Amino acid sequence: MHKVWIFEGTVSYKMNSQADYARARGYLKHYGVDRFLSNLIELGVVGSNEIILPATKPFNPFARLASGDDKPAYGNILQSLGLSESDCDFIVVKNLPVNDANWNNLEKASKGEASMGLRHRFIIPRDPYWSSFNVLTIGLGKRSNDLEKSISFLKSMKKAALDYVSKDRAVNKGSDHEWSENIGLFFHVFPFNSVQYLHLHVVDLDATGAAFGHMYHKNLNIDYVINQLELELKTKN
């Protein structure tokens, strides 16, 4: 999935700055958004209705959680914390227990089998529209005002993540599970991602592990994404 069309011979080693992200968006537009969508449909990632498929092959765990085909053993975290407004649009997902246990294991980190820190969660959207499969394509769909709506959506996603951390911090105050005030919010831009469904990495930067350093080159801050989309909207108008 990663050796794909648009980036053939063009991807740099890193994707963690706004300039890197803007360049990737440029490559995509040059390649053709509709052409890229067709590729995703051919690969079974997206259906002909332009919805991300909750597939088992290729397995898409986040799409399956969003669709309700799979249910996490830990339940609905946002709902349990009283964040019903965020729960309408987003889901908090935990990493695999073995990955959390390996959070500071250098060998496992190099194999992609470790969380980025002692506290590392994901925020995923409930809406499986294809252009939200990754921040590479977000805002480039055919829906009316897709770019404007995507900017608002990402700001809501950021708020949901920080609200979750704040609530969870209060619940776990004084324990080993208490989040610090130093929180990182990152995306992995295609083809640097591992799951073909939009997910925001929420990481406690005061308790990072070996995997954080291993992924530093591809940790794109959510603010860079929002800033770039706002710049594209301004240029568009």
Percent share of the chain, pLDDT over 70: 95
pLDDT above 90: residue 92: yes
Asked if residue 28 belongs to a domain, the reply is yes
- What does the alpha-carbon distance between residue 48 and residue 69 come to, in Å, rounded to a whole number? 19
Nearest to 15 by CA among 31, 2, 5: 2
Q: 1 lies in a domain?
A: no
Residue 48, in any domain of the structure:
yes
Mean pLDDT of the chain: 93
Task: Look up the pTM and report it.
Answer: 0.95
Averaged pLDDT, 156-180: 97
Instruction: Determine, yes or no, domain membership for 10.
Output: no
Q: What is the pLDDT of residue 1?
A: 45
Q: Show the domain range for 208.
A: 15-236
Q: Check residue 121 and report its DSSP letter.
A: E
The total domain count for the chain is 1
The answer to whether residue 49 is domain-embedded is yes
Question: Tell me, what CATH number does 61's domain have?
Answer: 3.30.428
On whether the CB atoms of residues 207 and 179 are closer than 8 A, the answer is no
Inside any domain, residue 4: no
Beta carbons of 122 and 45 less than 8 angstroms apart: no
> Is 5 within the bounds of a domain?
no
Residue of 212, 29, 68 whose CA lies nearest to 76: 68
Q: How far is Cα 154 from Cα 51, in angstroms, rounded to an integer?
A: 19
| 6 assigned to some structural domain | no
